[in-house]
Amino acid sequence: MHPNAILDHAAQLLTRVLTFSHPADAVVGRYFRDNRTLGPRERNTIAETVYAVIRFKARFELLARSGPGGRERKLAILGFSAPRDFLLGALKPDEKTWLETCEREGEAVMMDIHRHNLPQWMVPALKSQLGTGFDTLADTLNTPAPLDIRVNTFKSKREEIQKALKGLGIKAQETPYSPWGLRLEGNPSLAKVKAYEQGAFEVQDEGSQLLAGILGAKRGEMVADFCAGAGGKTLAIGAMMRSTGRLYAFDTSAHRLDALKPRLARSGLSNVQTAAIAHERDDRIKRLAQKMDRVLVDAPCSGTGTIRRNPDLKWRLKEKELAEITALQSTILRSAAQLVKPGGRLVYATCSLLPHENEAIANAFTEGSEDFELMPVAPLLQTVLTPQGGAAEDGDALALELCQGNFLRLWPHLHQTDGFFAAVWQRRM
C-alpha cells in the first residue's frame, strides 16, 4: 500500500480516537473490522502511528499548530511508525519542509508539559514522590511496556516453557523478580502457541504476579479474590494452592467473569468458584464473613500504572474522578475485610501511581480498623523472591528494592513492571 494511503487511514482513525470517548484499543479494533482489506503490515503501521500520537499528544499538538494540511494528517506524520524514507514518499514538498523544521527546532519551543506528555493535574503527585526521578518516569511512561507471561506451575515449569518458546523462535528471559515469569522479546503473537492453548502460561505483568505471591495462599485454604475481573490473579492464586481448598472469584461484572471461564478451563484448576455480586455488600459476602484465610482486594483504580499499555488512559482520566474512585476503594476494602477470619491475611492492591489511591487508603484503613494489624510487605516478599537453593539474604535484598516503608511500590522506570501498590494486614486473633 502506498504510504499516502496509510497516512490517510491513520488520520481517519485519529479523528475517532482523539475524542477519547472510548478506550483506544476498542476504537482501533472497530476501525480494522470496518476496513478488512488492510493487511497485517498496514494495520501494524497504522496502529503504532496512532499510539505514538497518543503517547506524545501534547508535544505533537504543539508542533501541529503550524504547517500545511489538516491537524490529524500532521499528527500522523509526526507519529508515523515506519522508516523515514517510506514516510517521505507520501509527503508534499511543503510538508517535508515543515517536518524538517519540527525536527530541527521543535525542542526549543517546548515547555515541560510538552516534554513529559502527562496531564498537568497528575504531575504534582508524581513529583512529590519521585523528585528528580520524575523525568525518568515520564520518559518511561511514553515507551511501550514489555510483554510478560506467567507460567502455570500447576501444569508446567518455567524452564520448560522457555525452551518451548525458544523452539518457536521466541526469545524469553526470566523475569528479575517473579519466580514464575518470563519476559518476551518483541511482541510475538501467542494465541496459537500450543502451550498457551493448553493453559501452560498466561500473559500477565510481572508486578501482577508478585501480588499473588504476597497473598501467599496455601493448599487447602479458603481464599477470595474480591475484585477478580477477568481472573488473571485468580489463576495465579489457584496455581499456588495447587487446585486445592476453595478459591472464590468475586466481581460486580458477570461479563468480566465470563472472560475467566475459558482461561479457567485451560488452566486445569478445579478449586475456583466464580460469583457475580450486585455490590460489595452482597448477601453472599455476608454469609462468608470471617471465613477466609486470605483475601485479595485488587481494587478498581485510575490505572495510571498501566499508562505504557494504555496511553490514552492519561487523557481520558479526569482529576475530578479521583474522589469517586477513592471513595469506592475505601468502601470495597472495608467490605472485603469482613471476609477475613482471625489470623487471616488481607491484601489491598492497585495498579495506580497516585498516593491518593494507595498510601492514603491504606493508612486510613489502618487507623480506622482496630481488628487489623499492618504487616510489612518486605518479609512476605522475601520468601517469594529467594532463588531456589539460594540464601535468604538474596531474596531479602530483592524485596527491599520493591518496597517503600511497609508497602510494595513498583515503578515502571525502576522495576520495568507496571506501576503497582500493595498493603497487607493480618486480622488479630
- Please state the φ and ψ torsions of residue 340, each to the nearest 5 degrees: -80, 130
Averaged pLDDT, 19-36: 96
pLDDT at 404 over 90: yes
- Could you please report the per-residue DSSP string of 315-382? HH--TTHHHHHHHHHHHHHHHHHTTEEEEEEEEEEES---GGGTHHHHHHHHHH-TTEEEE-HHHHHH
Domain 205-427 sits in CATH at 3.40.50.150
Domain 147-202 sits in CATH at 3.30.70.1170
- List Cβ<8 Å contacts ≥24 apart for 383-390: 383/216, 384/179, 384/210, 384/213, 384/214, 384/216, 385/177, 385/179, 385/213, 387/179, 388/179
List, for residues 201-249, the tens digit of each pLDDT value. 999 999 999 999 999 999 999 999 999 988 999 999 999 999 999 999 9
Averaged pLDDT, 31-50: 95
Q: pLDDT band for 391, please (50, 70, 90 cuts).
A: low
pLDDT of residue 283: 85
Domain boundaries, the chain: 3-117, 147-202, 205-427
Mention the CATH class of domain 3-117: mainly alpha
pLDDT at 285 over 90: no
The upper half-sphere exposure of residue 3, i.e. CA atoms within 13 Å in the direction of its Cβ, equals 16
pLDDT of residue 394: 66
pLDDT of residue 390: 52
pLDDT at 186 over 90: no
List, for residues 90-132, the tens digit of each pLDDT value. 899 999 999 999 998 888 888 999 999 999 999 999 999 999 9
296 vs 3, more confident: 296
pLDDT of residue 277: 87
CA–CA separation, 75 and 398 (whole Å): 42
pLDDT of residue 107: 83
pLDDT of residue 105: 85
Averaged pLDDT, 388-415: 83
The region that residue 186 occupies, defined by phi over 0 for left and psi between -120 and 50 for alpha, beta otherwise, is left
Active site residues: 351
Mean pLDDT estimate for the chain: 93
CA–CA separation, 41 and 31 (whole Å): 15
Is the pTM of the predicted complex or chain greater than 0.85?
yes
List, for residues 328-366, the tens digit of each pLDDT value. 999 999 999 999 999 999 999 999 999 999 999 999 999
3-class DSSP state of 252: coil
pLDDT at 33 over 70: yes
Query: Do the strands 372-375 and 201-203 form a parallel or antiparallel pair, or are they unpaired?
Result: unpaired
Q: What angle do CA 273, 278, 281 make, to 5 degrees?
A: 95
Residue whose C-alpha cell reads 490505572 in the numeric block: 303
Lowest mean pLDDT among 13-22, 173-182, 242-251, 273-282: 273-282
List, for residues 374-388, the tens digit of each pLDDT value. 999 999 999 888 655
